[in-house]
C-alpha cells in the first residue's frame, strides 16, 4: 500500500484514494475540536480573526460565528446544563436562570471542555483548519495530555465517496483491521478510555465483518451493526451515516436524540492534544487516510482479514497492532 499519496496545499495533508463525494463534488470533512484553558468566547474570537464572520451570542458559553469564509462555526462549553433549552416557565425566573447557567458554566469550564464545531469544509481547505488549531494553541488552549482530568476528543467527519454498500463495507472492514494499530500509535489517553467516549468494537463483531466473504446488502450491514453497536460510543460511529441512509431502520433500535443523520463517517478515536508540538489536525487526518487506502485495496483487505481471523483463533495470538504494520509496509 502506498502510504505517501498526493498532498493537499503543500502541507503534507495526504489525499484519500477518492476525492469526489457521492454527488460528484469535492469531498468535505467536518472537524470537532475539544480543548481547555480558553473560553468559548475567546475561541470564537480566534475563529473570527482567521475567517471573518459575525459572532452571535446564544448565551455566555455558546456562540455562533456566522458567515465566515468557510461557513458557520459553533464555539461552546460542551455541557447541556449550561445552555438555555427553552423559555422559562415563569418570565421572572429567566434572569435568575441565566445567571445560574453562567455561574455553572464558569465552574464547569475548569474540567468540561470547550468545543469548536467546524462546518464541513472541502478537503483542500483542511490546512485552513490547521491554522485554527495553531491559533487556539497560541491563545493558550490545552489538550488531553495537559491534565489528568482532561478527556478531550478530536473528531473527523469525512464525507462518503459513494453510497454503494461495498464501499461503505470496505471502509468499515479497513477500520476494524486498523483499530489496534491506531490505538497503539495514538496512545489513547487513559482518562478517555475509563470514561468510555470511544470504545472499541466487540471482537466477535470485528471477526464477522473482516471475513473476506462478508459483503452484505445495506439492510444486513445496518442490522448487523445495530445488533452489536446500538450506541454512539464507538471509535468509528456509523449511526449518523446509517441514519442518513435508512432513518427508520436506525430509529427503531436507537432513540438517542444526539444522533444526527449525515453522509459521513464519524471518527471519534483521537485525543485532542492542542498545545503539544507533536500533534496536529494534519497528523490525525493522515492516519485516517491510511484506513481509506486500505479500504481501496481489495486484495490486501481480504488477505489482512484472513490473517486477522486466523490470529483471533489462536490460543495465544500475536500482537495485532504490531502485526498490522507489516501490511502497511509491504
Which of 141, 170, 202 is at the close of a domain? 141
Examine residue 105 and state whether it is found in any structural domain, yes or no.
yes
Tell me what pLDDT residue 151 has: 77
- The percent helix, strand, coil of the chain (3-state, each to 5) is 45, 15, 35
Rounded (10°) angle between helices 320-329 and 298-313 = 160
Examine residue 17 and state whether it is found in any structural domain, yes or no.
no
Q: What is the pLDDT along the chain (330 residues), one digit of tens a residue?
A: 444 456 555 458 999 999 999 999 999 999 999 999 999 999 999 999 999 999 999 988 899 999 999 999 999 997 543 334 544 444 554 454 444 344 333 434 455 789 999 999 999 999 999 999 999 999 999 987 666 667 788 999 999 999 999 999 999 999 999 999 999 998 876 666 566 567 899 999 999 999 999 999 999 999 999 999 999 899 999 999 999 999 999 999 998 888 999 999 999 999 899 988 889 999 999 999 999 999 999 999 999 999 999 999 998 989 999 999 888 877
> C-alpha cell of 263?
453522509
Which of 141, 166, 183 is at the close of a domain? 141
Residue 285 to residue 289: CA distance in whole angstroms: 6
Would you tell me how many other CB atoms lie within 10 Å of the CB of residue 325?
Answer: 12
* Containing structural domain, residue 48: 30-141
Are 166 and 52 contained in the same domain?
no
Are 55 and 137 contained in the same domain?
yes
Tell me what pLDDT residue 109 has: 44
Are 127 and 165 contained in the same domain?
no
- Over its C-alpha atoms, the chain yields an Rg (Å, rounded) of 21
Examine residue 22 and state whether it is found in any structural domain, yes or no.
no
Which of 141, 173, 189 is at the close of a domain? 141
Are 81 and 180 contained in the same domain?
no
Are 133 and 170 contained in the same domain?
no
Residues 6+ positions from 97 with CB-CB distance below 8 Å: 84, 88
Q: Considering its fold, how many domains does the chain have in total?
A: 2
Residue 143 to residue 133: CA distance in whole angstroms: 11
Give the C-alpha distances (Å, rounded to integers) separating 320 from 306, 315, 324, 325. Answer: 13, 14, 6, 9
Examine residue 23 and state whether it is found in any structural domain, yes or no.
no
Are 163 and 80 contained in the same domain?
no
| Long-range contacts, stretch 23-27, CB < 8 angstroms, 24+ apart | 26/122, 26/123, 26/124, 27/122, 27/123, 27/158, 27/159, 27/161
Tell me what pLDDT residue 78 has: 75
Examine residue 5 and state whether it is found in any structural domain, yes or no.
no
Examine residue 294 and state whether it is found in any structural domain, yes or no.
yes
Residue 290 to residue 4: CA distance in whole angstroms: 9
Are 174 and 83 contained in the same domain?
no
Q: Are strands 71-77 and 121-122 parallel, antiparallel or unpaired?
A: unpaired
Examine residue 15 and state whether it is found in any structural domain, yes or no.
no
Give the C-alpha distances (Å, rounded to integers) separating 33 from 74, 151, 154, 323. Answer: 11, 12, 5, 31
Tell me what pLDDT residue 66 has: 98
* Residue whose C-alpha is closest to residue 35's, from 120, 130, 158, 151: 151
Rounded (10°) angle between helices 126-138 and 40-51 = 130
Are 194 and 164 contained in the same domain?
yes
Q: What are the start-end ranges of the H helices in 109-259?
A: 126-138, 165-186, 190-195, 203-210, 218-228, 239-245, 247-251
* Residue whose C-alpha is closest to residue 165's, from 222, 223, 232, 239: 222
Are 136 and 203 contained in the same domain?
no
Would you tell me how many other CB atoms lie within 10 Å of the CB of residue 297?
Answer: 17
Are 160 and 295 contained in the same domain?
yes
Residue 310 to residue 303: CA distance in whole angstroms: 11
pTM for this predicted structure: 0.86
Give the C-alpha distances (Å, rounded to integers) separating 314 from 101, 136, 168, 304, 327. Answer: 55, 47, 29, 16, 19
Are 38 and 187 contained in the same domain?
no
Are 179 and 310 contained in the same domain?
yes
H/E segment holding residue 237 = strand 236-237
Amino acid at each position: 500500500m502506498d502510504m505517501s499519496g498526493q498532498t493537499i496545499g503543500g502541507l503534507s495533508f495526504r489525499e484519500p484514494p477518492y476525492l469526489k463525494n457521492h454527488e460528484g463534488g469535492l469531498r468535505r470533512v467536518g472537524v470537532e475540536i475539544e480543548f481547555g484553558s480558553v473560553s468559548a468566547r475567546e475561541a470564537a474570537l480566534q475563529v473570527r480573526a482567521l475567517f471573518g464572520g459575525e459572532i452571535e451570542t446564544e448565551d455566555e458559553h455558546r456562540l455562533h460565528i456566522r458567515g465566515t469564509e468557510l461557513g458557520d462555526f459553533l464555539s461552546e462549553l460542551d455541557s447541556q446544563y449550561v445552555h438555555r433549552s427553552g423559555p422559562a416557565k415563569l418570565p421572572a425566573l429567566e434572569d435568575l436562570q441565566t445567571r445560574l447557567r453562567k455561574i455553572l458554566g464558569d465552574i464547569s469550564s475548569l474540567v468540561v471542555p470547550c468545543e469548536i464545531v467546524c462546518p464541513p469544509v472541502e478537503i483542500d481547505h483542511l490546512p485552513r483548519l490547521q491554522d485554527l488549531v495553531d491559533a487556539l494553541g497560541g491563545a493558550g488552549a490545552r489538550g488531553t495530555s495537559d491534565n489528568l482530568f482532561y478527556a478531550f476528543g478530536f473528531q473527523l467527519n469525512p464525507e462518503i465517496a459513494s453510497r454503494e454498500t461495498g464501499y461503505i463495507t470496505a471502509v468499515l472492514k479497513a477500520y476494524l483491521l486498523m483499530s489496534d494499530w491506531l490505538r497503539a500509535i495514538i496512545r489513547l489517553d487513559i482518562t478517555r478510555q475509563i470514561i468510555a467516549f470511544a470504545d472499541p468494537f466487540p471482537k466477535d463483531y470485528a471477526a464477522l465483518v473482516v471475513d473476506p466473504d462478508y459483503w452484505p446488502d445495506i439492510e444486513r450491514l445496518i442490522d448487523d451493526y445495530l445488533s452489536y453497536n446500538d450506541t454512539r460510543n464507538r471509535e468509528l460511529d456509523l449511526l449518523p451515516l446509517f441514519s442518513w441512509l435508512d432513518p427508520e431502520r436506525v430509529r427503531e433500535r436507537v432513540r438517542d436524540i444526539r444522533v444526527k443523520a449525515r453522509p459521513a463517517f464519524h471518527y471519534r478515536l483521537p485525543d485532542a492534544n492542542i498545545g503539544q508540538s507533536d500533534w496536529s489536525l494534519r497528523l490525525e487526518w493522515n492516519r485516517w487516510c491510511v484506513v481509506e487506502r486500505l479500504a481501496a485495496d481489495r486484495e490486501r483487505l481480504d488477505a489482512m482479514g484472513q490473517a486477522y481471523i486466523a490470529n483471533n483463533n489462536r490460543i495465544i495470538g500475536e500482537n495485532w497492532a504490531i502485526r498490522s504494520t507489516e501490511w502497511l509496509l509491504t
